[in-house]
Structure 1
């Protein structure tokens, strides 16, 4: 019996991955963001990225004309499944792939696509997001960073905060105020600007986890070219909202991101290791029940994501439904981190030094960092408002 087109693609993909994915790229490990400021040194990671770039599978569903793979949704799901099967991790990550790339493909000019998309696909540039300001978080439209018309460019002055990875980014996409004399949602524009210029200063913020993933970013006569204005002047709020939908819908997605997440120890395996087992089951009945509940909810969440992705492939825009992904995805993230720390007992409070494995220390710090997950990318309270109004149709 001849193979269907899907099964033929599966067989070809399986063979290609087996031949081209180095052993060192299977399982947890470094994932390149594209930053020119973070040298990639691991040989297998470099080789894996190069091979996936050549195949177009760093951005599997993006148009082939920009270096993407041009895969259908069905082919994309096959690729994810086959990567998981060999524990292959993502060859590339970052906001270029998850946020600004999809936004430019949908809303950018042909010139913007030609200049920026291929570099994202090849992992030659890292991006950061300039949205929140010290006085503009949940009420983002009240932002004050100004962009003044200077002929062929804008001159930008102001400050952004909680800028993820700004110290490593090559470019920023930002919301700026271009008209202060109109209603706040109207006078905002969406621009792209380079981070390596005299008018941009970045200061990392040290968190309770001991890490500094977020930064303050200051603009003192920084420059954004008008060729990098995305969408219409003063209509950037629409572009910015669309990008947030990509952000909220990508909390647990992308080719190998899911594959790498599946590659490590399971909650049940860790529970048996740290809390003991009895007749092949987790000894603590209460912990067993909590893990089972988490795994059921996680499976339902993944299936809902797959359904929505299929609807998107069929031409339906997820829109405000992505708020459900953001809210529930962060809830699951925090639930998992809480379980991992609790089941370890005294080993779940390791910070540094002897007596704690690197993984135990990492998960303790991850638990602390994860407390902010329900706030960043739009707080869960804001997501509930969006769901109530735009998904459920409830009155104000």
Structure 2
């Protein structure tokens, strides 16, 4: 079903679509797989093209290098890049999370230092929120930041820090007033990663990927002007960051699940189980849930465009919905594969494999799982990352249903 926006916005859509058709490599829209060496060359040149055209961070104000797109224009931009399967961001954490946060809360000096580098893709970021004993209960974090030598000294540990082994900076939460109430003694800091006081320990997962890391801070240093949004105001700033994370793909988030489900339906047909009444019912249920996710996105978009704020708690509801839907879809896929799904049929040490809905992941020589198996394994984390399903239910109960706090 096609969603139509006002005429000026649809005209902007045609502009974006034309640019993509003229700038993507020959054969891109035919769906041909790009050889690894060509893919690397494409990725290297693509960021430069995006920056030159002004598509990176296009919703940012013009005075900071963006295009000043309206919310609907920004949605259309995302939709067209998703339709074309074209990569859109130089750095997810920089473009979508910390960059907008600095624009909202940062000082003029922080904006001048970081915003141009984010736009040009010159620095990469990771997010230091979760800790070994403070994951979904983020306010329970123990990492400390203390003023020292004209800056801050940081001690503590962060975990499940995506791409920490590649990042130049981390935006992290640290306790700066241990005597304040849990939510009030926290600050939001921008900390350089490449220094002796920071140890990054990659966490190898079952399929061999090491996207997640543990990060240990031992007298790590951050400059005096690294605090964003004011001292001990980090909780409020962090909630802004998480709002950007959950709102960036309102009308496009469902697309990868639709594509994945089409592939699974094809598997069912190939194996002759698509006529099985139980399998048919489960496929229909998952298709319905993906469409509901699409409508959740449209509701979020309407709430944003109209400024009604009628959907308090909708971000948590959406996250809970898609994560549980995806896990159920992956369970269905494994049932369709049957005994075949239990055989390690992947290439040994499959380096740089593209996992649909996940991205590039390295393989493991002694556990050569196939692409479908690795997608299934990764889906097990869906209901944990970004806030566990249990925590999301509590928030929905309180904000949407008006139930008393548990």
TM-score range, shorter chain: 0.7 to 0.9
* Candidates 316, 323, 328, aligned match of 1:330: 323
For residues 354 and 222 of structure 1, the distance between their equivalents in structure 2, rounded to whole angstroms, comes to 41
Q: Is the 8 A contact 2:47 2:90 kept in 1?
A: yes
* Candidates 27, 49, 52, aligned match of 2:50: 52
Structure 1 unmatched runs, 5+:
31-38
Matches within 5 A, 1:39-78: 42-78=40-76
Q: Is 1:290 paired with 2:282? A: yes
For residues 261 and 123 of structure 1, the distance between their equivalents in structure 2, rounded to whole angstroms, comes to 28
Matches within 5 A, 1:1-396: 4-23=7-26, 42-250=40-248, 266-267=262-263, 269-276=265-272, 282-316=274-308, 320-353=313-346, 361-396=370-405
Q: Secondary structure at the match of 1:239?
A: helix
Deviations 1:174-214 (CA, angstroms, capped at 9, x unpaired): 11111112222221111010111111100011223332221
Structure 2 unmatched runs, 5+:
1-5, 356-368
For residues 194 and 251 of structure 2, the distance between their equivalents in structure 1, rounded to whole angstroms, comes to 28
Q: Secondary structure at the match of 1:74?
A: helix
Q: Is the 8 A contact 2:75 2:251 kept in 1?
A: no
Q: Specify which structure has the bigger relative contact order, considering alpha-carbon pairs within 8 angstroms and separated by 6 or more residues.
A: 1
Q: Is the 8 A contact 1:88 1:260 kept in 2?
A: no
Q: Is the 8 A contact 2:254 2:293 kept in 1?
A: no
Query: Which one is further off, 301-310 or 166-175?
Result: 301-310
Q: Secondary structure at the match of 1:156?
A: strand
In the TM superposition, residue 319 of structure 1 has moved relative to its aligned partner by 5.2
Distance 1:331 1:29, change over 3 A: farther
For residues 4 and 102 of structure 1, the distance between their equivalents in structure 2, rounded to whole angstroms, comes to 28
- With the length of structure 2 as denominator, give the TM-score of the two structures: 0.83
In the TM superposition, residue 375 of structure 1 has moved relative to its aligned partner by 1.4
Q: Is the 8 A contact 2:203 2:214 kept in 1?
A: yes
Distance 1:48 1:121, change over 3 A: same
In the TM superposition, residue 353 of structure 1 has moved relative to its aligned partner by 4.8
In the TM superposition, residue 262 of structure 1 has moved relative to its aligned partner by 6.2
Distance 1:334 1:247, change over 3 A: same
- With the length of structure 1 as denominator, give the TM-score of the two structures: 0.85
Q: Secondary structure at the match of 1:372?
A: coil
